[in-house]
Amino acid sequence: MRRTFQLWLFIAVALSFAALFYLTYYLQTKEAFHTAENLIELRMEDAKKQIAINENNLKAVLDICNSSMANDVKAVAYILACAPAFATNSHKLEELRRVLGYDEIHVINKHGIIENCAIDPMIGNADKYVGFNLKLHAQSEPFVHGIGKPDFVLVQPPLPRGLDRKLFQYGGAARQDDEGIVQLGISVSFLEKAMENNSLATLSPGLRVGVGGEIMILRGEKIVGAARVDFEGRTLTSIGLDEKLINDICQGEGLLHTEIEGVKFFGVYIQSGDLTLIGVMPDSEVTRKRNGIALQLVISGLVLMLVVFLSVSKLVQTIVIDGIDRINVSLGRITAGHLDEKVEEDRSEEFRKLSGGINTMVDTLKGAIAAEKSRLNSELEFAKMVQESTLPQLHSDPRFQIFASMDTAKEVGGDFYDFFRIDDTHLAFLIADVSGKGLPAAMFMMNAKALLKSSLMASAGKPLDKVVASVNDSLCEGNDACMFVTVFVGILDLDTGNMTYVNAGHNAPILRRGNGEVSWLPVENGFVLGGMDSVSYTQEFISLSPGDGVLLYTDGVTEAMNRQLTLYGDDRLLALMQGPVMSSAPPDCVLTELKDDVENFVDGAPQSDDITMLFLHYLG
């Protein structure tokens, strides 16, 4: 029971711990990703602001440049109006260019053809430009539209030009001296620097999220800014994102789980103007705190679980199992037969009731056993009484002495003996052993004894074998239980010493002559009485002289058993009787000597059968 309880307790505690752990783990995971999402979003907001600031800065620089160029080109138009020589004279124009510090000045007529120009010799040859038709080039064509519009001013954004694709900016204004346009051009490499300074790539260090996370800025599918410099210029496909996710990223906002170069990342993506921002953090970093908490939880949980398990186990052991064990010990003693054992387990109401119940039950059982015992005892007592009440008595007679003894076993056997005078000269004596034990045997014994006595008393003149046969037939009537009795019966003529006898299945008696000669009395072994009717018996004769004796006994003597399970046996009996002591022992000592010898032999082993013996001593 303790084992089973501990097993279930362990399972219950372990399950609750597992459930608690799982719940905490789940919540912590959710919380970790939520926190990461917030952090990433915060960092993306910062990045967005930074991008906006960059853009504003660049715009301001460009605005300044543009407005300065617009003013300069209007000033050139004014100068041309005041001093028309500048329009036609290339040297003058070259001087003006140097003064103004521009790379190119073009004077364009009303047909959009360059009439005069000054070019920084470092860039090119002015002669090549003269005659160039603005209408023929996409870059210059917009200026043609200003021809004939006195207020026209146009400053183009810087555009890459030439083989080296350096940024170059053109501005133009309507000529005041004539219909046409005057153009200024300048290489804006300083703007390149400014634009570079303000490019998204320069945000790189500010794009970190946590330790291993970052924000990637995309234009289209191309990464234009990232904390990892090597990402710049690459596409999402090239860093390992799948197509569907890339589609989602380019079109809206949301959360993502993906692998970048073999590492698992969690991320958020949003759109900002024409840019897409992706903020990612490695899963391991997101869940680092959670893992720490989980580890602490596992350790503290295991300790807690152990404490709960041990204390509950101990508690139940103390409250329940010890009590049950104690009751079991008491029950074991009761089962072993100690009915006086009391169960005294009173640590709780339930145990008090259980103990009380068991005690009451044992008391009831004791009562029932006592009642049954007394019933049995009275039956046995009655049977014993029957057996013993019928022991014969005789007035002393100078012609013979007779001694008999019967030691009944604990359970009543069926031995009996009898002797009586049939008439003045005839003495009948017999010894018998009924099969079976207890009351039925006692009843059969009574019947047999009465039948034998009455038949023998009425036997005058009849042969003894016939008397015995008639007793047998009577005993067979209605003997369904197949009980039977072995009998040795003899009739001694007290005047002559002639003895007639019949043996019906009984042990052969021993004959002790007065001269010390001892031998088995020769017997014809007839069948037991009561076993089968119409059996015939044989009567035999022997002549006794004064001093001779006959010893009769039952198998309680020869089958007395010692602790080594050895039988006393016929041989030992004959040898004892033939021995120097018994062959001449006084008649009154024969039975006591024999009994002593049997008792010595069994040496305290319990007696299992009646021990009955009879010694007839003929005096003549």
Partner 1 sequence: MTYEITNPPPDLAVLVKGRLDTLTSPKLESELEPSIAKASSLVLDLAGVDYLSSAGLRLLLTLQKRFKREGGSFKLRNIQPGVMEILRMTGFLKILSVE
Binding mask 384-423 for partner 1 (x = CB under 8 A): ----------------------------------------
CB of 485 to partner 1, least distance (A): 9
Q: Nearer Cβ to partner 1, position 39 or 532? A: 532
State yes or no: residue 144 binds partner 1 (CB under 8 A): no
CA-based end-to-end distance of the chain? 83
Number of residues that bind partner 1 (CB under 8 A): 20
State yes or no: residue 169 binds partner 1 (CB under 8 A): no
CB of 520 to partner 1, least distance (A): 11
CA nearest neighbour of 485 among 525, 520, 558, 435: 435
CA nearest neighbour of 268 among 214, 339, 189: 214
Binding mask 58-77 for partner 1 (x = CB under 8 A): --------------------
Q: Which SS3 state, helix, strand or coil, does residue 15 take?
A: helix
Classify 374 in phi/psi space as left (phi over 0), alpha (psi -120 to 50) or beta: alpha
Q: Got the DSSP string for 487-498?
A: EEEEEEETTT-E
State yes or no: residue 528 binds partner 1 (CB under 8 A): yes
Which of 43, 92, 437, 453 is close enough to bind partner 1 by CB under 8 A?
437
Q: How far apart are CA 575 and CA 593, in angstroms?
A: 13
Q: How far apart are CA 83 and CA 186, in angstroms?
A: 23
State yes or no: residue 526 binds partner 1 (CB under 8 A): yes
State yes or no: residue 527 binds partner 1 (CB under 8 A): yes
Span from 62-70, 289-297, 429-437, 540-548 in contact with partner 1 (CB under 8 A): 429-437
Tell me the H-state helices in 438-506.
438-457, 464-476
Span from 52-60, 77-85, 400-408, 477-485 in contact with partner 1 (CB under 8 A): 477-485
Q: Nearer Cβ to partner 1, position 124 or 440? A: 440
Q: Nearer Cβ to partner 1, position 290 or 506? A: 506
Span from 109-117, 128-136, 251-259, 482-490 in contact with partner 1 (CB under 8 A): 482-490
Q: How far apart are CA 48 and CA 277, in angstroms?
A: 8
In this structure, are residues 480 and 512 in contact, taking their beta carbons and an 8 Å threshold? no
Cβ-based neighbours of 290, under 8 Å, separated by 6 or more: 25, 28, 29, 31, 32
CB of 560 to partner 1, least distance (A): 14
CA nearest neighbour of 108 among 142, 137, 143, 83: 143
State yes or no: residue 531 binds partner 1 (CB under 8 A): yes
Q: Nearer Cβ to partner 1, position 282 or 526? A: 526
Q: Which SS3 state, helix, strand or coil, does residue 279 take?
A: strand
State yes or no: residue 553 binds partner 1 (CB under 8 A): no
Span from 30-38, 86-94, 167-175, 530-538 in contact with partner 1 (CB under 8 A): 530-538
CA nearest neighbour of 494 among 411, 422, 580, 416: 422
Q: Nearer Cβ to partner 1, position 294 or 409? A: 409
Q: Nearer Cβ to partner 1, position 58 or 532? A: 532
Chain positions 8 to 47 lying near partner 1, rule: CB under 8 A, are none
In this structure, are residues 512 and 594 in contact, taking their beta carbons and an 8 Å threshold? no
CB of 477 to partner 1, least distance (A): 14
Q: How far apart are CA 579 and CA 510, in angstroms?
A: 13
Give kind and range of the element (H or E) at residue 208.
strand 208-209
Q: Nearer Cβ to partner 1, position 171 or 526? A: 526
Span from 11-19, 430-438, 463-471, 588-596 in contact with partner 1 (CB under 8 A): 430-438
CB of 392 to partner 1, least distance (A): 24
Q: Nearer Cβ to partner 1, position 204 or 486? A: 486
Q: Nearer Cβ to partner 1, position 51 or 614? A: 614
CB of 409 to partner 1, least distance (A): 12
Q: Nearer Cβ to partner 1, position 343 or 511? A: 511
Q: Tell me the CA distances in angstroms from 559 to 67, 207, 396, 600, one per residue in order.
A: 148, 114, 33, 14
Give the amino acid at 39: L
CA nearest neighbour of 485 among 440, 425, 424, 455: 440
Q: Nearer Cβ to partner 1, position 75 or 508? A: 508
Q: Nearer Cβ to partner 1, position 28 or 554? A: 554
Q: Got the DSSP string for 567-589?
A: B--HHHHHHHHHSTTTTS--HHH
59 phi, psi to nearest 5 deg = -65, -40
Q: Got the DSSP string for 313-359?
A: HHHHIIIIIHHHHHHHHHHHHHHTT-TT------SSHHHHHHHHHHH
Chain positions 483 to 512 lying near partner 1, rule: CB under 8 A, are 483-484, 486, 504-508
Which is it for strands 549-553 and 518-520: parallel, antiparallel or unpaired?
unpaired
CB of 340 to partner 1, least distance (A): 30
Q: Nearer Cβ to partner 1, position 21 or 527? A: 527
Which of 327, 532, 574, 602 is close enough to bind partner 1 by CB under 8 A?
532
In this structure, are residues 68 and 152 in contact, taking their beta carbons and an 8 Å threshold? no
**Contact footprint for partner 1 (CB under 8 A):** 433, 435-437, 482-484, 486, 504-508, 525-528, 531-532, 535
